[in-house]
Structure formats: structure tokens, C-alpha cells
Structure 1
């Protein structure tokens, strides 16, 4: 079954190039050049993935606006930003909005389509990942975690800590064990606490009511 991709790019030649290679790889593509047309389409249609430029015509953050609108409709749709803006500020903003990837326009078409294919492969593999809770999926191979279908942006160390807490669900995991699973040589209890605080914050971006990680005073943490 073909996948439906939303492509929003205001440069006609680039839009045509991306659209052509996506269609050659079997995807259905709905392409637009501005925020209004894209959001109107999203309002009445479902898609499997969105590829968004950030600067659209005179709107300097049009892609971010579309992303927010789309997430209100369906948090599980993967979003890829494809832009000429190669700054950490924009990248951070994109990932904080839930982007799966951030690509710059100097990317070759072959690498571009490989990235898109890879996203769909990951989505198909989600059902094969070890699941303990239907809303949370940990992938031990790529150090990725998905919550309510959305990728949670964690560092490798944060992933390892969250993973062991999750797998020990209902039981207290002490600081000693948590320090052993990290990739760092020396890890203090305070350092673990900082990591856990960031893990909680990352999950709360997906669900503000997230409170599964509880503190076991002076001992460690428990995932309830």
C-alpha cells in the first residue's frame, strides 16, 4: 500500500525534484507552496509523513506553523524539515516540535530518498520492538524511544537510564544500577538526578501529564 506524503516547498524547481523522486519510489505526493494551502489540505485529509520547508514565501517560520497545526490533528505523523537554514537554533526548534529528522537542501536526492525510506522502515519495525506498555516503545538497536507514537528526544545516556527504569517497571532501581548502565566512567547520584529530570521533561513535551518516573527517596527511582 502506497504512503501519502505532504510536501511543502515554495521553490518550484526544488519542489518538482523532490516530488519526482518520491513518486518514482512509489509514494503518493501532495505538494504545496504556502502555509494556507497546506493547512487547508491537512484539515480535511490524512497523511503518512510530512516534508516541510521552514521559510515559505514571506513567512519566515511557515514550516513550524504547519508542523504545530499537523501535530494538533495527529501527533503520530512523522515530520521531516527540509530547509536551507543550517543553524543549531532552527534544528533545536524543529526537534522540540517533534521532528523526526532535519535535512538541509544541499542533500543529494539519493540520500534524501534513503532518509525518507528509512523513516517508513522504522515505523514498520515498531511492531517488532520489545513492548512492555502499548504507549511506549524502546528500540535497543538505535537508542530511540517512542511515546504515544512520537519520538522522544533523548541522548544515549538518557535512553539507557530510561530503558532500565522502564524494564524494571514497578520496582525501585537504585542509583548504583543506573550509574552502571550509562556510558560514562564516573556518575554521581546528582548526575543521575539531572539526567532523570531531563528525561521527565522530554516525555512531558509529548504528554504534560506524564508522571511515571517517581523518586524513591535517597535510593533511586521507580517507573510506575
Structure 2
């Protein structure tokens, strides 16, 4: 079955958001629509979109779109983002593009141009990642679906991981048999906001979720005074 692209729209103006959704309904895509950065982040932590269309000013939050993109880009490498906004000063455009946005378009925008722009960005996204398996980490009996944020051990799905646990496990799985220090694991988490002294607690929670489906799980090894490693 052909993959149906997922497009996330984050726009606080109800009329504009509904116009975008109606326009995209004519395309073979899945659309997720949000009015604020907080509901968008909560949903997009569970599913990687193929394209995000972001306003910058959301409600009373002047830089909300920039803040949301900054958080999502830490989670998803090379995430296609289109800023679509009334902030048209050159300094804002430069800031958005330097952050890594794929495009920056001023409002108002015609529906024809909007849909053409979306189609163009989806083509670029497909060409930049033609192999969906690149988004799947396989390390022995471990499989991590980065797009859907699902984890499987011996083909058994594991209980939902927190954002921090997922980031730590991904970091370990990408570096099998390599000892990773407490500091490295802390920096690998969302925004590097985890204190070194809580790493052991997060690792214990990760192990517990593996042992729920495999009581003899022992692939995360503690290296005394150093950190942890994934035993391949």
C-alpha cells in the first residue's frame, strides 16, 4: 500500500486553518490541524509528519511557531517545515530559514499557490528520503520505528515510552556495545534537560518495560562509574 503523507497544520486563525484543511482534502494526504503549539507538540510526539505548516504567531505567543519548530527538529531529523505567516520582515525570514525550515511564505496566500507549494515540498521530501526503512532502527531483536515512535522487542510491542526514555533508548541502540556516559545520555534527551543523577531512574524504567515482555532481558548493561551500553 502506498504511503499517504501526513501534513500537520498549526494555525490559530479558524478560518485560515479550515481553508487549508479543505484545500488539502482534495489531495491524497492525511491532515492534522492544530490551533496552538502545545496540542500540536503533544500529538506530533506520537507521529512524525511528512510536512509541517507553521504560523509563527499563535494566539498571544509571538514566537510560538519558532519554539515549536525548535522542539520538533530535536526529535525528527530533516523535518520538512513551511513557515506560513504574517511576519514578513527579512530578519524573521532569515531566522526561520537558518533554523532549518524548508520554505518561508508570507500571508495572505492564494489556495492555488498554497496547494502547489505543498505538492512541491512533498516531492522534495520523497526524493530526500526515498527509502522508508531509513526511519527504522534494527539492532538484533530490537526494532524502533522512529516515525510512529513504536518500540518492538522480539516482535512484541512495548508499553509506551516517555519522550526521555525513547530518546535514551534510540541513542543506545544507534551505538551498540559502546559505553555511553551519563553526560552523553543526558545530552541525547529532549533538549538535554535531564540531570545526570536521574539517568539511572530512566534506565530502570526502560528495563522494566522490556522485562514486561521478556523477563530475562539484559541488553542494557551498567558500566560502574561510567554509564551504560547496549549489548548487541
RMSD: 1.7
Counterpart selection for 1:54 from 53, 56, 61: 56
* Count of equivalent residues: 129
Q: What corresponds to 2:119 in structure 1?
A: 117
- Partners of 1:63 and 1:34 in 2: how far apart? 9
- Partners of 1:106 and 1:43 in 2: how far apart? 29
Report the CA distance between 1:126 and its aligned residue: 3.7
- Partners of 2:84 and 2:129 in 1: how far apart? 28
Q: Does the 8 Å CA contact 2:50/2:125 hold for their aligned counterparts?
A: no
- Partners of 2:125 and 2:18 in 1: how far apart? 26
Q: What corresponds to 1:86 in structure 2?
A: 88
Structure 1 pair 127–75 and aligned structure 2 pair: CA distance change class (3 A): closer
Q: What corresponds to 2:203 in structure 1?
A: none
Q: What corresponds to 2:12 in structure 1?
A: 10
Unaligned runs of 5+ in 2: 135-232
Counterpart selection for 1:107 from 106, 109, 123: 109
Matches within 5 A, 1:60-209: 60-126=62-128
- Partners of 1:123 and 1:41 in 2: how far apart? 21
Unaligned runs of 5+ in 1: 129-133, 135-224
- Partners of 1:103 and 1:88 in 2: how far apart? 12
Counterpart selection for 1:32 from 34, 44, 65: 34
TM-score, normalisation: structure 2: 0.53
TM-score, normalisation: structure 1: 0.55
